[in-house]
Amino acid sequence: MASDAAGKDRGAAAGKPRGQAAQHKFEMNIEETRITLVGQQTFQTFAYAGQVPAPLFHVREGDHVEVVLNNLTTLPHTIHWHGLLQRGSWEMDGVPDMTQLGIQPGDSFTYKFVAEPAGTMWYHCHVNVNEHVATRGMWGPFIIDPVKPAPIERDVTGDYILMFSEWASSWADKLGQGGMPGDVFDYFTINGKSFPETQPIRVKEGDVIRLRMFGAGGGFHSIHIHGHVFQIVFKDGHQLPAPINADTVLVGPGERYDIILRCDNPGRWMIHDHIDSHTMNGHTPHGGVMTLIEYDGIPRDQSYYHWAHKEFVPDFYYEESLRKPHGIHTNPNFKGTPVA
């Protein structure tokens, strides 16, 4: 097995001249792992590179991408590159029995395509999506920077990825099952974690942040941000004709919304799902899809504050990785424990 099977980009395009397409080559394993959603609640997954969310692909419009995918699990899988057009490369679309055979246990498949169009895209398995995507964590972000950014994009000082999903604990340890009609989803996550295991988004007054929101599971999430009016600027990676001012956005399965928020109201401000049952961990309230915007200069040491004495985990929203040169970025924060 190649030494970079856990996630290294062998041909990242740092320093490529503007307008010149880069070549990215990447090898990735699919592994069976166990992740912790919150507290003692664990869940077995089929995980790209052993992590949920999967590695971040961050490339430039027109770049050439090659991904060797090795299936080390006990069931077949693929990757569908959701939102990418696959012009002239329809056999790379990742749909079993339509564009390829499912990648069988122990087998490999190589995907080759051009990264287009620009925008907030993602990737996920297309085998038994009811289980593998809806409740086993087989998804990750695919960000394609435009050759010609929109003026509003040039204002952004911080870029964050929030992937929403839901989990039915009754199937937590039963690989190959779940995602059925009538399932009770009782855990809800941002980037595979439920509050209070999510992380605050730390900003300074004057920052302009871009929150890329993904409906990675099978549910709807009505995301409300306190203390601010944001602009909905992109839908499924495509710029809207005119931004929409809002304080709540409904993100459905497969959808992506990019919102731009100007940090002009110092304080601590909730970000949460306004589908109220999605702010619970099982039968315990005050959990699920919750985090907050935390301004510098606001005291963090109040005894009642959930994050007062917790270690801050950077790159929880891939915000640090998105600042790095184009390439493929793994994240140890999302790594699961291998299942024997």
Tell how strand 23-38 and strand 56-60 pair up. Answer: unpaired
Q: Is the peptide bond prior to 117 cis by the omega test (within 30 degrees of 0)?
A: yes
Instruction: Check whether 168 has a pLDDT greater than 80.
Output: yes
Q: Which amino acid is at 131?
A: E
DSSP 192: T
pLDDT value at residue 13: 44
64: buried, middle or exposed (CB in 10 Å: 19+, 13-18, 0-12)? middle
Place 302 in a pLDDT band, splitting at 50, 70 and 90.
Answer: very high
Give pLDDT tens digits for 81-116: 999 999 999 999 999 999 999 999 999 999 999 999
Which 8-state DSSP code applies to residue 217?
Answer: S
Residue 75 and residue 104 in contact, taking contact as beta carbons nearer than 8 Å: no
Strands 41-48 and 327-329: unpaired
What's the mean pLDDT in 288-299? 97
CA-CA distance, 213 to 198, in Å (whole number)?
15
Q: Quote the pLDDT of residue 215.
A: 98
Q: What pLDDT is stored for residue 18 in this prediction?
A: 57
What's the pLDDT tens digit per position in 235-285?
999 999 999 999 999 999 999 999 999 999 999 999 999 999 999 999 999
* pLDDT level of residue 287 (50, 70, 90 thresholds): very high
pLDDT cut 90: percent of the chain above it: 92
C-alpha to C-alpha distance for 46 and 32, rounded to whole angstroms: 5
Residue 9 pLDDT level (bands cut at 50, 70, 90)? low
Taking residues 148-158, report their average pLDDT.
97
Q: How far apart are CA 13 and CA 87, in angstroms?
A: 22
The token duo for 102 is 């499912």
